[in-house]
Amino acid sequence: MAQESDPIVRIRELKKDRVNFVLENVDLSVANSFRRVMMADIPTVAIDMVEVESNTTVLPDEFIAHRLGMVPLVSANCDEAMRYTRDCTYNNTMDITSNHLEFGPLDDGMDEDGDELSKRPDNFGMPVGKNEPGVPPVLICKIRKGQELKLRCVAKKGIAKEHAKWSPCAAMGFEYDPHNRLRHTTYWYERDIKAEWPLSENAKEEPPVRDDEVFDYMAKPNKFYMDVETDGSLGPQEVVIKGLQELQAKLANLILGMKEPEPSAEEDTFQAPPQPNGTSAPACRRSCCCCMGRVDKHMEYKSRRWTTSWMGRVAGPARAGGSGGWGSPAAGAGGAAWGSPSPAGGTAAGWGDNAAGWKT
């Protein structure tokens, strides 16, 4: 892919929600990775948790929850303006005392140290096109007289690798070699291939293949026609630029990962026992069921960052009604986790990852 010349970018059309451009002098793999990263790796905001208080409509709860998740929300500057739920540092337990009885629920939960709020545009998190003239709203549900729908939605930041609702792209056009000069594809036809297969608009950009032309099997695609259409949660400019930055970050992390020495064993107070196959497994740094037998040591390691209540659950009977831990990373063991990054919780109830409520 030794590029003879610099890549060329030519934007053919730029609208509020789409950009059409031609990419030249790059390798197919670069163009394709660029496409993939724009579709699946750019963070946006979408409704992820729905607590249904009452629903007497004809649509079931999960149906509505799913529909709500699909609604595009304005996510401009989402990279900096919000954290992933898993990165939120609710790392302390909170004592609920009689003094709290007067208070309403502690809302928001935004970290004191975060400056994310200041980076948000005014309409951040609002449905795209809300109160904009000429943009029809998204229909979620129809209700008749006497029916009721009351719910609470929690929107979270995420990427489309987790769920497609977080993709900023509605459609992505990607074409190269419109005349099929490179024969990367084989067209099925009845009598006349040229009559039966209409050429795309992009075919005007390249000379047609002459009948007497010799097939150059070494030729490589060089010109890529891309059309990025967003759902409005991000602008097309942001999608393109963030996509390229994401690719850079991926590559930089790989370089960094190769340079980094192996994590030193001294740091750990807990070392996983060697695996039967002889390879030394990385020390288990997760609170997971495999460590149950060595929970004391594990806790020692863990307690530097987390104050959890599940030691009690392992060592003895649970206290105070199943020990609700604020932001506990407790795994498997269950327990109510409020906004916890818990991997695989049990039967939790509350607002955490595994809480009751519909994951959309």
Partner 1 sequence: MNAPPRYELYVLEEEECPVEVIEDTKIPNAATIKVVKQDHTLGNLIRAQLLSMPQILFAGYKVPHPLQPYFLIKIQTDGTITPTAILEQACTKLIGTMVTLENKFKREFSLKDAGGAVADDPYGTGAAGGSEWAQGKDYLDF
Q: Is 343 in the site for partner 1 (CB under 8 A)?
A: yes
Q: Is 134 in the site for partner 1 (CB under 8 A)?
A: yes
CB of 281 to partner 1, least distance (A): 12
Encoded one letter per residue, x for contact with partner 1 by CB under 8 A and - for no contact, window 248-287 reads x-xxxxxxxxxxx-xx------------------x--xx-
Minimum CB distance to partner 1 smaller for 101 or for 258: 258
Helix (H) / strand (E) element for 8: namely: strand 8-14
Of 240, 333, 337, 355, the one binding partner 1 by CB under 8 A: 240
Region near partner 1 per CB under 8 A, out of 51-59, 161-169, 177-185, 316-324: 161-169
Minimum CB distance to partner 1 smaller for 17 or for 116: 17
Burial 328-356 (b: 16+ CB within 10 A, else e): bbbbbbbbbbbbbbbeebeebbbbbbbbe
Partnered with residue 227 across adjacent β-strands are 20, 173
Token match 């003879």: residue?
4
Minimum CB distance to partner 1 smaller for 133 or for 316: 133
Of 96, 117, 126, 244, the one binding partner 1 by CB under 8 A: 244
Q: Token digits for 94?
A: 């909170």
Counting Cα atoms < 13 Å in the Cβ hemisphere of 220 gives: 13
Minimum CB distance to partner 1 smaller for 63 or for 209: 63
Helix (H) / strand (E) element for 293: namely: none
Among residue numbers 300 through 339, which ones bind partner 1 (CB under 8 A)? 332
CB of 124 to partner 1, least distance (A): 19
Minimum CB distance to partner 1 smaller for 68 or for 348: 348
Task: State the Cα–Cα distance between residues 202 and 60, nearest whole angstrom.
Answer: 45
CA-angle at 195, arms to 192 and 196, nearest 5°: 80
CA-angle at 198, arms to 208 and 219, nearest 5°: 35
Among residue numbers 4 through 23, which ones bind partner 1 (CB under 8 A)? 6-11, 13-18, 21, 23
CB of 29 to partner 1, least distance (A): 4
Minimum CB distance to partner 1 smaller for 209 or for 269: 269
Q: Is 137 in the site for partner 1 (CB under 8 A)?
A: yes
Among residue numbers 18 through 57, which ones bind partner 1 (CB under 8 A)? 18, 21, 23, 26-30, 32-34, 36-37, 40-41
CB of 244 to partner 1, least distance (A): 4
Burial 86-100 (b: 16+ CB within 10 A, else e): eebebeebeeeeeee
CB of 17 to partner 1, least distance (A): 6
- Provide the H-helix boundaries in the chain: 28-40, 61-70, 78-81, 193-196, 236-259, 295-302, 310-315
Minimum CB distance to partner 1 smaller for 150 or for 286: 286
Q: Is 139 in the site for partner 1 (CB under 8 A)?
A: yes
Minimum CB distance to partner 1 smaller for 94 or for 272: 272
Residue 225 CB contacts under 8 Å (≥ 6 apart), including other chains: 20, 22, 23, 173, 174, 175, 176, 178, 202, 205
